[in-house]
Amino acid sequence: MSRRRWLRATLAFVLAVLGGACSLALDTAEFTRPPSPSNEADAAPADADAVGFREDAGVEDAGVEDAGVEDAGVEDCATADLMTNPRHCGRCGRDCAGGQCSGGKCMPVVLMRNLGTVFGVAVVGDTLYIGAHDEIWRMGVDGGGAVPVAGPTGARYMAASTTHLYWTDGSSVRRWPLAGGPIERIVSNVPSAMGIALGPNHVYFTRYTTNGGVERALLDGGSRETVIASYDRPEDIDFANGELFVGGDGENELAAFANDGFGSKRVLLSSNEPVAMAVWGSDVFFVQQADDTIRRMPVAGGPAERLAAAGGQPCGIAVNADSVFWVTCTGDGSLYRLVR
């Protein structure tokens, strides 16, 4: 038994004797302290009170406090109107991140305005990238901390890996290291370069003309080759699970090409200008310019679900684990987020 624990046990005994008829009962286990941290990483922060720690709180005390917080959260959800509560929208714990909750669904929230003509948006973890005002801007998924990080760019659509941001600029394909550094032009002489997507080893890009198509190159720009020789105005593309997804207002369809883009085509949607898309799990999220909406449908095919009005003519779209992001490319140009 530690010296402190012995002293507290002794104190409990003395108080019990002195209290007599008061019959003071004290559980000494309540004062047991956890083992001392074995290294700095295990230690509590220096300013422990600021992050909710109490200097003398033992394991049992902390457990009771944590349970109280959890119970409060459950109680809050239990009494919440899941149709309108933006902290519990449609289900417990779904926070609309600043958007309203209507009918159990989160509504979009504007993260940035006055972006001018903007096409591309990409998300890597909790970080967003957009191309606006001839620069690449980086910010949190809540729109906070927005700063320009590279330029000039001439960016149209964009895609990101864990190490680089890629984009087209109308005549070439460029990339920039997320850790910082110079912009590289990795593929040149691409007439009307527009859409872009990343496969495991290749960057895919479109030629947005009536006699356009899709090409690809290695991620460093080498070994350029044609993937789809002829396609009317392919605007944007995405790559997932060995399929190349293509959309545009020329063929006016959202289609998936098997075998890394070289195989057979299956049409998911054949109307309403589904020009840009992002695949996440078993769903493909896309912008529909015929009615300026954001929609999703199963990758395997099926009915499309309307998620939200886009707030203008939508162009680029990106998806992470809980949200959809898109930009409007007419008017003042805006960046939106929708918790899904």
Residue 29, class by beta-carbon neighbours within 10 Å (0-12 exposed, 13-18 middle, 19+ buried)? exposed
CB count, 10 Å around CB of 226? 13
The average confidence (pLDDT) of the chain is 83
Cβ neighbours of residue 176 under 8 Å, at least 6 residues apart? Answer: 136, 149, 150, 164, 165, 182, 183, 184
Q: How confident is the model at residue 291 (pLDDT cuts 50, 70, 90)?
A: very high
| Cα 32 from Cα 62, distance rounded (Å) | 11
Beta carbons of 130 and 137 less than 8 angstroms apart: yes
Give the residue from 285, 250, 291, 289 showing the smallest Cα distance to 268: 285
Kindly report the three-state secondary structure assignment for every residue of 221-257: CCCCEEEEEEECCCCEEEEECCEEEEEECCCCEEEEE
HSE toward the beta carbon, residue 318, CA cutoff 13 A: 26
pLDDT in tens, 239-286: 999 999 999 999 999 999 999 999 999 999 999 999 999 999 999 999
Q: Which of 19-28, 281-290, 326-335 has the highest mean pLDDT?
A: 281-290
What is the per-residue pLDDT for 327? Answer: 97
Beta carbons of 258 and 250 less than 8 angstroms apart: no
CATH class of 113-339: mainly beta
Beta carbons of 337 and 324 less than 8 angstroms apart: yes
Domain map (residue ranges) of the chain: 3-79, 113-339
- Does the pTM surpass 0.75? The reply is yes
- 3-state DSSP call for residue 73? helix
What is the per-residue pLDDT for 37? Answer: 30
Cα torsion at 109, 112, 117, 120 (round to 10°)? -70
Q: How confident is the model at residue 332 (pLDDT cuts 50, 70, 90)?
A: confident
pLDDT in tens, 70-119: 444 555 898 999 999 999 999 999 999 999 999 999 999 999 999 998 99
Cβ neighbours of residue 290 under 8 Å, at least 6 residues apart? Answer: 271, 272, 273
